[in-house]
Amino acid sequence: MTVFSADHLRALDRAHYIHPYTDHEHLHAAGTHLIQRGEGCWVWDMEGRRLMDGLAGLWCVNVGYGRREIIEAVERQMREVAFYPSFFNTATEAPIRLAAKIAELAPEHLTHTTFSNSGSEANETAIKAVLWYHRLRGEPARRKIVTRTWAYHGVTLATTSMTGLTSCTEPFGLPLPGFVQVPGPYHYGANTEMSPVEYGRWCLQETERMIVAEDPATIAAMFVEPVQGAGGVIVPPEGYLPGLREICRRHGILFVADEVISGFGRLGAWFGNTLWDLQPDIMTTAKGLSSGYLPIGATVFSRDIAAALLGGGYFAHGFTYSGHPTAAAAALANIGILEHDQLIPAVRDQMGPYFQSKLHELSGHPAVGEIRGMQLVGAIELVPKGGKSALDPKIFLGGKVMGLIRQEGAIVRGIRNLIAVSPALVVTHEEVDYLFDAVRRGLNRFLHESGA
Ligand SMILES: Cc1ncc(COP(=O)(O)O)c(C=O)c1O
């Protein structure tokens, strides 16, 4: 359904549209890339070019584009009742069924869910619930929130304050007081003599030292992405996540697993926390919950926390669209596809290992400093001629190489000096081959064009 020409749209875009996380001068100098259509792992732009979407939209279109099951479920729900709130002792069918379905899929102790519209809101909801929970239990001094460097948790004031990326916090003079940042296990970025496992151990020691220095009795919760995504696909070294979980237990700090990217199959499990048996007190998710077909976020509570909240009187929190029936219907249909097509075991046993083998084939490439990944997420650290020590802090290699790879027919994400890749769960062997062929051609061009 295109009514306007590409040129007309670009002119209107320039005149009226403020994009998320965008340098607008750069955007309009290059010209907005207009995407028109999607099918499976592919999108078509308005010039008619077909591109392999190596980022599943924004780490979210897990079942691929154009799924009839979701489209029909949304249409059915909209015809019946497009929206009715879950306020005022009322609800519709879809969010109730979705909460029950999440309880069925999640670790057994995670029993209750409240909904929102995004990952940021799911995390913001978790923060407020944690503060209320500690007040109800008679520990109102527990108000501080601990997160890690390179973490990404969202864009509200509080979730930006949890985000460990200065590019997100500095423009707004954040973090707010009461947000404590401990080192995340980004071994490659640390320039250390330690091995990744030793560096992970050092991060744990430093985390506990900082918690003790803050006074554990003032700390409410720690938020943890099992694999840090937007901060650069940071895969935890062995022993690190269980160690972090143990520190939180020791100090009575609630452990919140932020599964906005890792939930619903990207790591070859319904939820990433199960891969390390983390038993989080709270789990947040969004993205893959509906494969991005409609906005929805979920905050999932343990039986114990839910009991305290449900017994605590009036729950003074909720968005107009908490439990939006049409978004919940999309999520139910999406989960139906994941189950019916057995996509998660397929990622775990076939596509994840194949994706990793193709990704790691790039490790000897002269433009590559390090390869990391797990199942369907991967990162390629880029180096210029001269290697890692020649990196210029003013030059954003990720953006440059992302542009070259897009010219070669695939969409990946540039972050600092790295490329992140994370396709839909429905990706085939041939599509993984196509994706990494395009990535390799992009890397070759980067070397050639930069004279490296
Ligand atoms: C781990 C994580 N948490 C939270 C968010 C925020 O989600 P949203 O952009 O839907 O608000 C993101 C988004 O990328 C994320 O990756």
Domains and CATH numbers, the chain: 33-63+342-449 (3.90.1150.10), 68-340 (3.40.640.10)
| Ligand 1: centre distance to CA 31 (Å) | 26
pLDDT of residue 385: 83
Q: What is the amino acid identity at position 83?
A: F
| Ligand 1: centre distance to CA 12 (Å) | 28
Looking at ligand 1, which atom is closest to the CA of residue 58? 14
- pLDDT category at 284 given cuts 50, 70, 90 is very high
Residue 2 pLDDT > 70: no
Whether 257 and 229 have beta carbons less than 8 Å apart is answered as no
Percent of the chain, pLDDT > 90? 95
pLDDT of residue 1: 61
48-52, 139-143, 341-345, 389-393: segment of lowest average pLDDT: 389-393
| Ligand 1: centre distance to CA 285 (Å) | 8
Looking at ligand 1, which atom is closest to the CA of residue 118? 10
Q: Specify the pTM.
A: 0.98
Residue 452 pLDDT > 90: no
**Ligand 1 neighbour 280 (Cβ under 6 A):** no
Mutate to test the pocket of ligand 1, among 60, 259, 261 (most ligand atoms within 8 A of CB): 261
What value does the mean pLDDT of the chain take? 97
**Ligand 1 neighbour 116 (Cβ under 6 A):** no
Mutate to test the pocket of ligand 1, among 59, 157, 224, 260 (most ligand atoms within 8 A of CB): 260
pLDDT (average), residues 324-342 = 99
- pLDDT category at 389 given cuts 50, 70, 90 is confident
Tokens encoding 92: 């519709």
- pLDDT category at 449 given cuts 50, 70, 90 is confident
Reported as a single tens digit per residue, the pLDDT across 427-445 is 999 999 999 999 999 999 9
Degrees to nearest 5, angle at CA 346 with 341 and 348: 140
Alpha-carbon distance of 134 to 141, in angstroms, equals: 8
- pLDDT category at 451 given cuts 50, 70, 90 is low
